Structure 1
């Protein structure tokens, strides 16, 4: 069973060592970039996605400064662990974590993905995210989950 753990000085090297498949490199920023970005984001959480003691993925999420709602900025599963259903389970863990920390006025979780990333689109739809029609951010499709 998967669980989330905060990225700390003890596990950040594991986080930046995770890799997506070669054909997915253009779909998500590296975890090193995400950890650097974290220095400039308030109210954001960097989490390792763990299978037992092994970090198999990474997520970065928090309250966006523009709309003051929760956004998932990054979500990835290491190439060695893809295709095993961990992506859906990891997204549910993030949704559950946000639900446990959010305030009453937070009603949505938003994310974006490359339109060419059909796999991500299908997983997010299965998890309850609905595309915001006509809304692209940096050429990425925006999708939203409503509590």
Structure 2
């Protein structure tokens, strides 16, 4: 069963050890960087993506200070665990988690990805995220899910 579990003092090192394939390294920041960033993101949550008791991925999501909406800043599945459907399940779990805690005024979840990352573009589209035409952040395509 795929589920999310908070990153804490017991599992942070497992998260840091997760890696994407070499050809994907330019698509996502390392989990160590994401965990360091968490010190400055007061309304964000770092979660391990687990298949039963094994951490297979990592996500970082929360309430963005700039636009007051929820964002998924990181979503990754370890290179050894890709192609098993964990990414799709994890995205749905994050959407469900945000749905539980969001206020009525929160209407979207936003994320961004490298335009060359066609796999991510297709996956997010399948999950209901819509590319925002002409919206780029730091060279990344912006995509939104609307509740």
TM norm structure 1: 0.99
Corresponding residue for 1:37? Answer: 37
CA shift, 1:146, in A, is 0.1
Corresponding residue for 1:69? Answer: 69
Corresponding residue for 1:98? Answer: 98
SS at match of 2:121: helix
Aligned residue runs from structure 1 range 48-87, under 5 A: 48-87=48-87
Query: Distance between the aligned counterparts of 1:69 and 1:42, measured in 2?
Result: 14
Query: Distance between the aligned counterparts of 1:52 and 1:84, measured in 2?
Result: 14
CA RMSD of aligned residues (A): 0.4
Q: Which 4+ residue blocks in structure 1 deviate beyond 3 angstroms? A: none
Question: Could you report, residue by residue, the CA deviation over 1:84-116 in whole angstroms, capped at 9, with x for unpaired residues?
Answer: 111111100000000011111100000000000
- Equivalenced residue count is 147
Q: Does 1:134 align with 2:138?
A: no
Gaps (5+ residues) in structure 2? none
TM norm structure 2: 0.99
Gaps (5+ residues) in structure 1? none
Query: Distance between the aligned counterparts of 1:5 and 1:13, measured in 2?
Result: 14
Q: Does 1:8 align with 2:8?
A: yes
SS at match of 1:38: helix
Query: Distance between the aligned counterparts of 1:45 and 1:104, measured in 2?
Result: 20
